[in-house]
Amino acid sequence: MNTKRSYTMTTRARSAEETRQRILQAAFDLQSTRLTSEIGLDAVADEAGVSVQTVLRHFGSRAGLFEAALVFANAQVAAERRAPVGDVGAAVRVLVDHYERRGDLALMMLAQESTYEHVGRMSEAGKTMHRQWVREVFGPQLAGRSPAAREEAVDLLVVATDVYAWKLLRRDRGLSRSQTEHRIHTLVSAVLTAATDRRDT
The CATH number of the domain holding residue 51 is: 1.10.357.10
Does a structural domain hold residue 28? yes
* Cα 28 to the center of its chain, rounded Å: 10
* 97 and 38 inside one domain: no
Q: Is residue 71 in some structural domain?
A: no
Residue 58: closest CA among 35, 24, 26, 86: 24
pLDDT tens readout for residues 91-143: 999 999 999 988 988 888 888 888 877 778 878 888 999 999 999 999 999 98
Q: How many domains does the chain have?
A: 2
Q: Are residue 160 and residue 197 in the same domain, yes or no?
A: yes
Residue-range definition of the domain harbouring residue 111:
81-201
Q: Using 50, 70 and 90 to split pLDDT, how confident is the model at 12? A: confident
Angle (deg, nearest 10), helices 147-160 and 117-137: 120
CA distance 51 to 55: 7
pTM: 0.75
